[in-house]
Amino acid sequence: MRRFAPIPAVTAACATLGVALVAASVPAYPVQAYDRGPLAMAAAAQGASKVPVAEGYGGAVSTVDLDATRAGLGVLRKGGNAVDAAVAAAAALGVTEPFSAGVGGGGYFVYHDARTGKVHTIDGRETAPAAATEELFTDPGTGQPLPFEQARASGLSVGVPGTPATWQRALDEWGTWSLRSALKPAIRVAERGFVVDETFRSQITENSDIFDDFTSTRELFLPGGAPPAAGSVFKSPDLAGTYALLAREGVGALYEGELGADVARTVQSPPVAPDADRVVRPGGMTQADLASYDAPLRAPTRVEYRGLDVYGMAPSSSGGSTVGEALNILETQKLTPKDKAAALHTYLEASALSFADRNRYVGDPDQVDVPLDELLSQGFADERACRIDPDAVLPKPVAPGVPDGSYDGCGDHAPGGRGAPNEGLSTTHLTVSDRWGNVVSYTLTIEATGGSGIVVPDRGFLLNNELTDFNFTPSQGDAPDPNLPGPGKRPRSSMSPTIVLRDGQPFLALGSPGGATIITTVLQTLINRLELGMSLPKAVATPRASSRNTALQAEPAFLASPEGKALAAKGHRFTEAREIGAETALEFGRRGFVQAVAEPIRRGGGSAMVVVPAQGR
Ligand code: GLU
């Protein structure tokens, strides 16, 4: 454990930049030392190449990608705030991570406003078109649910994109830059090009069957019939044009203009290659669906966890409610680094219980009555917690509880429900802070890696397949399923952008991709950091396990660890997952100090930078 002592040279640099050095009370969780090893050059070499940990002052950016982190940091350096920088970084991710996020997708934006001390969120989730019904993914010929891949690579799966509306909304509400200015760095990356890395290339390779079946996608991502080589420069002139259009005309170009007309046309009539042999079903999205899109502000979820305030994303995401319920359950339990296996057993069981409740009760709050207050109440969590047996693994799937306000012990449970969610393993998360103490935790996606596989011709971006996050058939037995498709409905998400405050000040910000494992990745990282004595870099890097009630997975290194072996011996039946999540996170110390963290290994490693590096830490 190490307590931070301010470094005079850095303090002087911050003063030059007008960086506010905010005095804070002595932290209950001081920023902890981590094994710097090969990262020792991080501060000096910042910006030259990807490093997963950076420490210093004046604000920070952490994303999966060097160009995106640079884009955000450039905005901070020019005086933009965390919101401006988050939009710039997200737009750059649309260029360099086009298979995870972009104009054709959606996401959730969580923001801590230093001036008011409040946390706000934007729900930028895609919506189903007005023509959608509960049978959206039922084959009319057979009455059976469509195979997932057929549903995915179709116009049916495409929801009205929410990402441009989210950017505009965030800038309008809390930003200081125009969209035009915030898009500039991304336009530059798209025009000049970026160096293809192995992740980019492999994401094309694993999608090449689908990409090759759409003329526009084939042209962009399979030039000359093959994925671009790692190390080559990839330019996106069409996407640069799309961003330039949004910069010139605003997001109305999508929601009410020529770009929207192209999107609707592409969904209704996907550009299927003449030699394609797959069935590609058209979708029903119209320009009227685009015109009625809204990215509303929503009250964040909040739970208190051992004196900290943990803020997350309310429905339509299940992130905040499920992380929050699990934390409430875990708060009733003793977790100690002296017995990591016991702590992880409790984490897995709390997670399974919360997922049962998520699956039964959480859907689009504009169309489903979600008992959010009860799901996040300590009374409900106490009742759920008494299902956990420290000496045995609960038989799965566990049944959902009854969040009805009357909590009287362990006997009162609803009939079981099951349902394997279809979420993919795509998506990206970014975390940004600024010199004023504003913080953004933003997760964005196009659902599967590669989304629907359909690039809008001449526009340079992929359309999402977010609507496959709906359940294709009822999953809750005789009880209603809150996540069936419907007109104008938002599919339930697992995205969990999270901000933790301590004494009203930012302490942690984090999030991850990974479909339903997003929830467990955020939860496990919080437990690693808050309960198991790990520094934030260690908490992020450490091997992961994920219980979602109907699925239990672990990374190979977790399975090989003493805890993994002890948990397997106890009866946890893990299946192996090569990688779970790809997190980015921030931790705030005293006097404006910030530690920016990305993955050292997963997805090829991420990129963390700070405005004023703390030399020599
Ligand atoms: N569509 C997923 C969700 O909203 C995210 C996709 C992923 O990370 O795989 O939860």
- pLDDT (tens digit, 9 = 90+) per residue, 384-405? 999 999 999 999 999 999 999 9
Percent of the chain as helix, strand, coil, to the nearest 5: 35, 15, 50
What's residue 321's pLDDT? 98
Is 191 in contact with 235 (CB distance < 8 Å)?
yes
Q: DSSP 3-state assignment of 142?
A: coil
- Residue 513 in contact with residue 428, Cβ under 8 Å? yes
**Shortest-distance atom of ligand 1 to CA 491:** 4
Q: Is the pLDDT of residue 433 over 50?
A: yes
β-bridge pairing 552-554 and 575-576: parallel
The pLDDT, as a whole number, for residue 615 is: 74
List beta partners, residue 587: 508, 595
Ligand 1 centroid – CA 103 distance (Å)? 16
Question: Which residues surround ligand 1 with Cβ inside 6 Å?
Answer: 423-427, 445, 447, 466, 469, 493-495, 513-515, 518
Nearest to 501 by CA among 136, 187, 110, 45: 110
The pLDDT score that the predictor gives to residue 35 is: 60
How confident is the model at residue 617, as a pLDDT? 52
Give the helix/strand (H/E) hosting 202: helix 198-205
What would the two tokens of residue 194 be? Answer: 């970026």
Residue-wise pLDDT tens digits, 83-135: 999 999 999 999 999 999 999 999 999 999 999 999 999 999 999 999 999 99
Encoding tokens for residue 442?
């933003």
Point out the residues that are catalytic.
427
Q: Is residue 580 within 8 Å of residue 42, measured between CB atoms? A: no
Give the residue whose CA is nearest to atom 7 of ligand 1.
Answer: 515
CB 454 within 8 A of CB 98: no
Atom of ligand 1 minimally distant from the CA of 125: 4
Question: How buried is residue 202: exposed, middle or buried, by Cβ count under 10 Å (0-12/13-18/19+)?
Answer: middle
Residue of 447, 470, 483, 496 best suited for mutating to test ligand 1, as the one with most atoms within 8 Å of CB: 447
The answer to whether 331 and 306 have CB atoms below 8 angstroms apart is yes
Q: Minimal CA–CA distance to 340: which of 524, 507, 551?
A: 524
Q: How far apart are CA 24 and CA 43, in angstroms?
A: 24
Task: Assess whether pLDDT exceeds 60 at residue 590.
Answer: yes
Q: Is the pLDDT of residue 7 over 80?
A: no
**What's the mean per-residue pLDDT of the chain?**
92
Q: How would you classify residue 143: left for phi > 0, otherwise alpha for psi between -120 and 50, otherwise beta?
A: left
The yes-or-no verdict on residue 22 having pLDDT over 50 is no
The pLDDT tens digits for 517-562 are 999 999 999 999 999 999 999 999 999 999 999 899 999 999 999 9
The number of angstroms, rounded, from the C-alpha of 186 to the middle of its chain's C-alpha atoms is 20
Would you place residue 408 in the very low, low, confident or very high pLDDT band (cuts 50, 70, 90)?
confident
Q: Which of 158, 423, 444 to mutate to test the pocket of ligand 1 (most atoms within 8 A of CB)?
A: 423
Q: What are phi and psi of 493, to 5 degrees?
A: -110, 165
Determine the Cα–Cα distance for residues 534 and 514; give it in Å rounded to an integer: 22
Share of the chain above pLDDT 90, in %: 88
pTM of the model: 0.93
CB of 163 closer than 8 Å to CB of 124: yes
Percent of the chain with pLDDT over 70: 90
